[in-house]
A and B are shown apart, each in its own frame.
Chain A
Amino acid sequence: MCLGVPGRVITVDGMIATVDFWGVKKHVRLDVIDEPVGPGDYVLNHVGYAIRRIPPEDIAETLALYDELLGDVRADGDLMAADVRGELAGVAGPADRSPGDG
Chain B
Amino acid sequence: MADAAVTEMRFRDPVRARALAARLGELVAGAGRQISVMHVCGSHEQAIARYGLRASFPADLEVIMGPGCPVCVTDLPEIDEAVALARAGVRVATYGDMLKVPGTAMSLADAQTEGARIDVVYSVAQAVELARATTDEIVFFASGFETTAVATAAVLVAGPPPNFSVLSAHKYIPPVMEIVAEMPGARVEGFLAAGHAATITGAAVFEQFAARHRRPVVVAGFEPLDILAALVALVELVVTGDARAINCYPRCVAREGNKVAQALLWKVFRPIGGRWRGIAHVPSGNLRLRDEFAHVDARRRFTIDVEALWRMAPPALVEHCVCGDIMAGIAAPRDCTLFGRACTPETPVGACMVSSEGTCRIWHQYGGHPDLVAIGRAAPAPEVP
Contacts and interface: CB of A to CB of B under 8 A. Distances in A.
B11 A1 contact: no
Q: How large is the interface on B (under 10, 10 to 19, 20 to 34, 35 or more residues)?
A: 35 or more
Given A31-B154, A47-B95, A67-B7, A1 B71 contact: yes
B258 A58 contact: no
Interface string B1-19: 1110011001110000000
Nearest to A51: B199
Interface in B122-177: 122-126, 129, 132, 143-145, 147-148, 150-151, 153-154, 157-158
Contacts of A49: 123, 125, 150-151, 154
B251 A54 contact: yes
Contacts of A64: 2, 6-7, 10-11, 223
B357 to A, nearest CB: 6
Contact of A51 (B11, B71, B147): B147
Contact of A92 (B43, B122, B252, B357): B122
Contacts of B95: 1, 47
B6 A61 contact: yes
Given A32-B258, A44-B252, A63 B122 contact: no
| Majority secondary structure, A binding face | mixed
Contacts of B362: 79
A90 B258 contact: no
| Majority secondary structure, B binding face | helix
Given A79-B365, A91-B123, A51 B43 contact: no
B124 A82 contact: no
Contacts of B122: 47-48, 86, 89-93
B261 interface: yes
Given A2-B70, A33-B260, A51-B200, A79 B6 contact: no
B57 interface: no
Contact of A22 (B1, B124, B199): B1
Nearest to B9: A64
Contact of A65 (B11, B143, B357): B11
A41 interface: no
B2 A34 contact: no
Contacts of A22: 1
Contacts of A52: 199, 252, 258
Contacts of A29: 123, 125, 151, 154
A31 to B, nearest CB: 4
Given A1-B71, A46-B151, A79-B362, 18 more contacts: A1-B144, A2-B145, A29-B151, A31-B151, A31-B158, A31-B264, A32-B150, A32-B258, A32-B260, A33-B260, A34-B260, A51-B258, A61-B223, A61-B251, A64-B10, A67-B7, A86-B122, A96-B125
